Amino acid sequence: MEAEAAKLIGAGLACTALIGAGIGIGNIFGSYLSGALRNPSAADGQRTNLLLGFALAEATGLFGLVIALILLFGF
């Protein structure tokens, strides 16, 4: 019984990485949009950095989700 509760608590804590990923993605796109509106000619040069930042932030959230699923169904 206690082991099941510990698994659920651990999985819930691992899912907090998804909160950080959502905040990070919002900051990345908000900053890009703000910069693109200030200097539209430089927006194309920063698109690679935008997509790289998005991919890294999303990967962090997915890693947390994978850890949560491993805790729930792996043990």
CATH class of the domain whose range is 2-73: mainly alpha
CB 5 within 8 A of CB 48: no
pLDDT at residue 74, as a whole number:
85
Asked if residue 54 lies in contact with residue 25, where contact means CB atoms within 8 angstroms, the answer is yes
pLDDT in tens, 20-75: 899 999 999 999 999 999 999 998 999 999 999 999 999 999 999 999 999 889 86
The yes-or-no verdict on residue 2 having pLDDT over 90 is: no
Report DSSP letters for 4-58, one per residue.
Answer: HHHHHHHHHHHTHHHHHHHHHHHHHHHHHHHHHHH-GGGTGGGHHHHHHHHHHHH
Q: Within a 13 Å sphere around the CA of 75, how many CA atoms are in the beta-carbon half?
A: 14
Q: Structure pTM?
A: 0.78
